[in-house]
Structure 1
Amino acid sequence: MSSNLHETTGYQIRTVSLLLINKINQNFLKAGFDITAEQLKMLVVLWNEDNRTQNELGESVGKFKTSVTKLVDGLEKRHLIQRVPHPTDRRSNLIQLTAMGKNIEKQLTPIVKKTLDEAHKNIPQEHLIIFQEVLQQIEKNLT
């Protein structure tokens, strides 16, 4: 392990993650979308499985309750999701995509793909595969 903090795996992963999040946010804004990469994570979960409780949504994206509430509020304000009463649990709501929330997937996905293509430029595909395997192993080691 390097004695220079800037050369450690964790530091580099964090730096690249922040750069990627910032680039996605910038590209959304350039395209006219007032949405963040963090909000996108929630939308992706709902695009795969709509009608989740707020707690389920938080667990899926690895966020604490207060952060989830702020993200849900922001998405609801943008008319991308709505809270609906849970049919069997009066204490909770289901988070549900609106028509606009469903349709925006077709618009945001190409922006994310373009951003990832830019991030992956000049990196051979076989290196990306190995990199993803290494990241998955690090995640597995830590959980």
Structure 2
Amino acid sequence: MHAAFEDYIGIHLRNAHLTIANCIKHQLLPYQLAPEQNLIMLLLWKQDGWNQNEIAEKLNKDKTNIARMLLNLEQKGFVRRVVQSEDRRYFNVYVTENGKKLEEQVIPIIEEANRQFCKDIDEQELKEFLRILSKIRTNASTAIMKKKVCDGYEK
């Protein structure tokens, strides 16, 4: 007999992620910023000048999708892409003045949302949750590498 639907950790993680992403999506609508684009902007607001490959690796996203999102962010005037002098195939991404103004509007919204998501969870519980989540991520990565769970998966 296999586990009940509710017993699969992936179901709980997926549902939590979708609920959070949906909440963020609605809050960012007035700013023309999708949740995935927001992740890129959060990285750039923290440290300007990432290249496309670094962003893709940091967010664990496909380079093609990152390229498309960066183009969209550039068209909206939030970032600018600068070709690297040593290799013209690559570029670094920088926040524009409009992107900095966006930061002033979006960061308080994201921080308040994060507070709401963690409401009624004390600091120790949150630390424990993040520790366990890290273990789950490590175990999943190990399973992929060993192909125990995701047979045929190639990264």
TM range, smaller chain = 0.7 to 0.9
Name the CA distance, whole Å, in 1 between partners of 2:9 and 2:73. 33
Name the CA distance, whole Å, in 1 between partners of 2:115 and 2:89. 43
Match of residue 103 from structure 1: 101
1:88-123 deviations in Å (ceiling 9; x for gaps) = 112222211111212322221111121122222233
Structure 2: unaligned runs, 5 residues or longer:
142-155
Match of residue 82 from structure 2: 84
Q: Which TM-score applies when normalising by structure 2?
A: 0.82
1:1-143 map, 5 Å = 3-29=3-29, 32-143=30-141
Q: Identify the structure with bigger relative contact order (alpha carbons < 8 Å, sequence gap 6+).
A: 1
Count of residue pairs the alignment pairs up:
140
Cα distance, 1:79 vs structure 2:
0.5
Cα distance, 1:125 vs structure 2:
3.1
Structure 1: unaligned runs, 5 residues or longer:
none
Higher radius of gyration, 1 or 2: 2
1:7-48 deviations in Å (ceiling 9; x for gaps) = 32111011101110110111122xx21101100111122122
SS where residue 128 of structure 1 aligns?
Answer: helix
The percent identity for this pair of structures is 28
Name the CA distance, whole Å, in 1 between partners of 2:89 and 2:50. 14
Q: Cα RMSD between the aligned structures? A: 1.6
